[in-house]
Structure 1
């Protein structure tokens, strides 16, 4: 490993999941990243750095809200970033997929809209939990499906590259129907701030500045809101309703009846939006993995669950001496201690 680190032609890249390390030729790594960035339907190169312009526009918006008494002086200064940094991208490798691909993760800390995004997250997060299919974690999922008897067909549907494809502005007007009681912002102001944040999708890679045309670099809360909206519209237009349907962001677990065809729902999902496409996985030997749960049917035709680990799982989560708050370390390890008991 030490010799590999010294080799200038070898790239050591973090895997997209499971904290594994991927070793590959540096030329192959750059080829994977450049293949993404040269896709004109997803990214475009910018000639000018938009940071200063965005900062002026954002301050103007916040000043208007302060002048109309929607926010006080304290949040006015808290939501501003005095010396904003550029969002920058780093690449990971999707080693858990059959076809190895690169994925860009954009760090937005201390950027123009960073503080505002954190503020809006508190307001918008409940909107992503309104769907009937919403599950909080693996324990909740196992407890929810444990009462299902005589499951016929177990299927999972997964969105292909959701974060570079979903239309970020569509569902907000219909979703934000009322302001939380603990803030004075109007609905229009919440939507205005949200649009400012989600339309700022530029980042640096090396010496170049790129803009993401579709989707967002990474935003689980906003994608959860969109998928809730997408799911409601899709099921309302589908003539057959599944026995059950549960979703965690872009992964959907479905049980269909014997007379229902999985491919029919798959085709229906793929006709809802030109850029939102799903893959389908059916059970193998009466077993189907969903996130870190292996769902199976026993001879009595009842649901059984247990912990599932992908072949690329490294059994690594977070180093004890990393500079994270104790609560973060506890939150990382506690599900690995308590969740397995709930899965069996």
Structure 2
């Protein structure tokens, strides 16, 4: 490719800015509810991968720190255009620029420490710094756009579908031991009737309908009095116990509701950092392949330079 080195650097920077714009646009579209959307979710992953691959090439090929940090800084303009502004984001971007500068220094130091050019060692030092700061920014976006204002309920922590799955899985063994005769398909009154018939040796059936109704009402009250819950006799037993568990969890969660969103943000950051380890190898391998292709196409070249090296020895006298 017959372009001046400076022009090639500008092309690389333009690719970084394009990928950064797509990434933050996609994140901004998902940030409202911070839920996965197929189109924007896939676009965000692909664009972030492209951005990091191009940034990895820039870390190796750029000779000036200010050029790399400048491109990274301009790449955050779409971030402020896509996400509702907060002063905290300015501090995070400044932290990202410091991380970019540190990443550049780490890569260059590693390149100078090796006599032969290799792609992997310098990127293994510089890329994790960028991934860490991106993980922090994404976790912060989640917290400020969704987590800080959301109200966490027991149903959020234990959805009905998950509860039904747990009941069906544990009913044959565990629930039958805790609540003999438990069946998620019967109603509350049916469960109480079967329990009374079993415990009272059939004397329940000789009671009048009015006495049975009064006894069922008393048993329902006793069964759910610890949960401060009024349950109808025709409700499914599993639904009644789900309401009881949710009511109890709401009481337990009340003192911690303000801190739970922050805990979720920390958990998201730790999750992203965990995923970043195998993800960084994907980026490094892709960068290695593209670098080999650029060398093959003679877009870049490996040059051998002689550099002075200092060493210490005994001083000769005379």
Pair in the same fold by TM > 0.5: no
Q: Which has the larger strand fraction?
A: 1
**Bigger-Rg structure (1/2):** 2
TM-score, scaled to structure 1: 0.19
Greater per-residue helix proportion: 2
